[in-house]
Chain A
Amino acid sequence: MNADVQGRALAILNRMAQADWPDRLNLRKPFEKLIYTGSRASFRLAADRAQKGGLRTPRKPDPDALFDLFLSDEQQMLVDMLASFASEVLRPAAHDADANAAIPAELLNQAQDLGLTFYGVNEVHGGMAGERTTVSNALMAEALAKGDMSLAAGLLVPLSAANCIRRWGSAEQQQRWLPAFVGESSAPVMAIAVNEPDALFDPLKLATKAKRRGKHYHLSGEKCLVLRGLDASHLIIAAQAENGPALFIVEAGSKGLQRLPEPGMGLKAGATARVKLKGVKVAADQRLNAEHFNYQSFLDHAALAWCALAIGTGQAALEYVTTYCNERVAFGEPISHRQGVAFMVADIAIELDAMRMLTWRACARAEQGLPFHREAYLARLLCAEKAMKIGTDAVQLLGGHGFTKEHPAERWYRDLRAVAIMAGGLQL
């Protein structure tokens, strides 16, 4: 059994103890509670596993499990904690981060203090990720996105990379790369690059190629809209290899690799980048090669992350328009007294919950080890369509004011357009 889990929780707590911002923002208590129970839950898991003998016991879905939408205590606390972080820290920073197309340095430090990456690294490598993490990760993404979608996306890049390496890397690769994500200094930024600059891009038909030459691969192609592609130390690049699509960890400074800013309609704070690869030499052991590597499943875990971000952003929009429509008066009464307005609000709530149900189901299946490709496909489809509708309706409900930067609706509108477009980038 791994007895270090509690020590690890203490280490994060210590880091938080030294920071002063949690006190300023009244976040100390919820965070301490979270760490305490988080470590307790991990303890329990580790003990369970030790009993069953070994870490790699395949998860068995529980056929007797009841239909259950309750969050676990740990999940609830995680959500509460990140919700306050989102409303106290992310939302106030969102406007400027969008305008400056960057995550403020202070925010990066605060996020580091939160220890998000611990949830992506398993216990043997110093983290706190238990067996079932997909739903919790989705809840985290949703909670953060309620503050701001592009800040949330940017902040989730290191956790996503950790998830990616934990899930798709071999034992040696995990040993080599994962400890850095839970070390003393900031977690490394490894940006996941899948999208390519083609209309009707299909992530299963990658134009980026990886040619095997002895102990190396040579990567050539072009990747676009890479979240945090510019400040990343490494890129996790999807490329077509001799035997199918594969993921490669590539140093950002490699010869033949060029990075350019690629601002888009939204996701500004995520500082999206274009990455060009010309015969970039990558050691063969930097191809993620877990035995069960499954590119489709990798894509699905990414799609679900975008779904979760869309849900959080949609929730923010719902709450914002609810308040606004009650306060705004036209023709002698609050505009919310008109069905043309009120029904739009109701529809946002209905479709938002629809998105949430599909996404949660796909995530719950994924973490139970059940097939979930169909569910992820349908969740993405629904989220892509409904999220954009929520984005455009939120602007509409605010009228001309919604069109200006005085309100976040226009930013949500731009950010939510990305949900249908992003492949990869993140990983629950």
Chain B
Amino acid sequence: MNLETPKKFAGLKHQAHQVAANYFRPISRKYDKAEHAYPKELDLLAALLDGMNAGSPDAIGATSASKRGAAKSLEEGVKNGGNLSALLGVMELCWGDVGLLLAMPRQGLGNAAIAAVANDEQLQRFSGTWAAMAITEPGTGSDSAAIRTTARKDGDHYVLNGEKIFVTSGERADSVVVWATLDKALGRAAIKSFVVEHGTPGMSVTRLEKKLGIKASDTASISFSDCRVPAANLLGNPEVDVQKGFAGVMETFDNTRPLVAGMAIGVAKASLDRTRELLKDTFRFDYAKPLLAVNHAEATLYRLEAEWEAARLLTLKAAWMADNKQPNSKEASIAKAKAGRVANEVTLKCVELAGALGYGEDELLEKWARDSKILDIFEGTQQIQLLIVARRLLGKSSSELK
């Protein structure tokens, strides 16, 4: 048993940390202020990452988190592969800035969806695309099976109609992976995802949100009106399989939830590090006295650190399971639930511990405390993760435990 990060990832972690410290941090505040301005600095960085990723099996970014990666290697024994390396990269980059990471070209969650469910031809065709992911609608978010955007087969095309909101990078990306139903009457099994390229007639961005945090990342509303998409852009199996149709799409989440948890780990670490830095002359942080015998502020930091470590290890565990082809839905949700709430608590508490300094805009602490909130909401809210975990534990269906 070993819970240390293996040496083979040290280079990747170091690189990602350098990017976070020297590339993200200096422009962090700039794009927090200039909401909706595209961080053009990211183009160069994305190109650099593409180059790095092409030359290394341990890529940074969402696309390398996939069960496919694990399936490729046939050797026996424990594996540390694409899911872990992607996660470690994300953690470091989000120590720099969550919003900027989310705004990175070609690292969208849509890319993770493509990586997870596309067939080989599609993988080939969509390689290099930057794909956003559009599930949420004005009328439904958590209840993703209730989406109302429709896809009607018409010859070699599907015709999409509906309204999507809160699409991360929905305007900037090259394409959007859109969830739509082939037949509302057939329920969740009829939900399929389609790659829709920007510029397709009938697709239009109608609005950009102004938000609490992650302002460097754009959040778009997109409407589809008789938008014709090539049938070959339907990801996965076009048949409506009432047994497992929805499960296929949901599988994406087993891979992406640990990544969002990783984002939470990264931003929480940024807050912890900075707060300790600010307090370094006040406390020793030597773990020497019993918790009850140290100053309350120091004890609080120890407690937050323990919670953070726990969240980090749970997240590594979920990714490790994916690398080792173990079913990990429960563990992915455990990681997301724990990391989401811990990051939110840590970043808010750190503002409080740093006092006026933490609240003011001279420091990034207040920004991190705003950025962290979304991580307990998207890719399934805290409550949705608890539902998933509880249903697994108790053996309940979604109609029994609603």
Contact = CB atoms under 8 A, between A and B. Distances in A.
A135 interface: yes
B44 interface: no
Contacts of A414: none
A374 B306 CA distance: 10
B167 interface: no
A337 B306 CA distance: 32
B3 A354 contact: no
A368 B306 contact: no
A65 B2 contact: yes
B313 A357 contact: yes
A326 B4 CA distance: 38
B389 A67 contact: no
A314 to B, nearest CB: 13
A64 interface: yes
A381 B293 CA distance: 13
Interface string B332-366: 00100110000000000000000000000000000
A204 B289 contact: yes
B394 A63 contact: no
Interface stretch (A181-189, A212-220, A340-348): A340-348
Given A67-B316, A357-B313, A381-B291, A326 B395 contact: yes
Interface string A164-200: 0000000000000000000000000000000000001
Given A202-B289, A381-B303, A345 B394 contact: yes
A275 to B, nearest CB: 21
Residue of A63, A343, A345, A373 most packed against chain B (CB within 10 A): A343
A200 to B, nearest CB: 6
Interface residues of B, number: 49
Interface in B79-121: 79-80, 84
B311 interface: yes
A67 B402 CA distance: 36
Contact of A68 (B1, B290, B291): B1
Interface in A330-385: 333-334, 336-337, 339, 342-343, 345-347, 349-350, 353-355, 357-358, 360-361, 363-365, 368, 370, 373-375, 377-379, 381-382, 384-385
Contacts of A360: 1, 3
15 contacts: A64-B7, A65-B4, A67-B78, A67-B80, A336-B394, A342-B386, A342-B387, A342-B394, A342-B401, A345-B390, A354-B311, A358-B306, A358-B313, A363-B1, A381-B303
B393 A66 contact: no
A385 B311 CA distance: 15
B212 to A, nearest CB: 25
Contacts of B155: none
A145 to B, nearest CB: 19
B292 interface: yes
Contacts of B386: 339, 342-343, 346-347
A365 B401 CA distance: 40
Interface of A: 62-72, 75, 135, 200-204, 318, 322, 325-326, 333-334, 336-337, 339, 342-343, 345-347, 349-350, 353-355, 357-358, 360-361, 363-365, 368, 370, 373-375, 377-379, 381-382, 384-385
Contacts of B199: none
A364 B310 contact: no
Contacts of B306: 358, 378-379, 381-382
B288 interface: yes
Given A200-B292, A336-B390, 15 more contacts: A67-B6, A69-B3, A200-B290, A204-B289, A333-B400, A334-B400, A336-B394, A336-B401, A339-B383, A343-B387, A350-B338, A354-B311, A357-B310, A370-B4, A381-B306
A70 B325 CA distance: 13
B305 interface: yes
A325 B394 contact: yes
Contact of A357 (B293, B317, B387): B317
B390 A346 contact: yes
Nearest to B299: A381
Contacts of B387: 339, 342-343, 346
Given A354-B310, A377-B302, A322 B1 contact: no
B396 interface: yes
B1 A135 contact: yes
Contacts of B303: 381, 385
A337 B402 CA distance: 8
A203 B290 CA distance: 8
Interface string B172-203: 00000000000000000000000000000000
Binding site secondary structure of chain A: helix
Contacts of B5: 67
A68 B2 contact: yes
Question: Which one of A64, A200, A339, A350 has the highest number of Cβ atoms from chain B below 10 Å of its Cβ?
Answer: A350
A377 B299 CA distance: 12
B35 interface: no
B8 interface: yes
Give the one of A64, A326, A349, A379 with max B CB within 10 A: A349
Contact of B78 (A68, A200, A333): A68
B50 interface: no
Interface string B292-316: 1100000000110111011101101
Interface string B266-294: 00000000000000000000011111110
Contacts of B7: 63-64
Contacts of B402: 337, 339
Nearest to B7: A63
A66 B79 contact: yes
B395 to A, nearest CB: 7
Given A204-B288, A382-B307, A343 B2 contact: no
B53 to A, nearest CB: 21
| Across the A-B interface, the 7 shortest Cβ-Cβ residue pairs | A354-B310, A357-B313, A342-B390, A361-B3, A378-B306, A346-B390, A377-B287
B130 interface: no
B320 interface: yes
B401 A378 contact: no
B396 A336 contact: yes
Contacts of B383: 339, 343
Contacts of A381: 291, 302-303, 306
B78 A70 contact: yes
A67 B401 contact: no
Contacts of B290: 200-203
B1 A342 contact: no
A381 B306 CA distance: 7
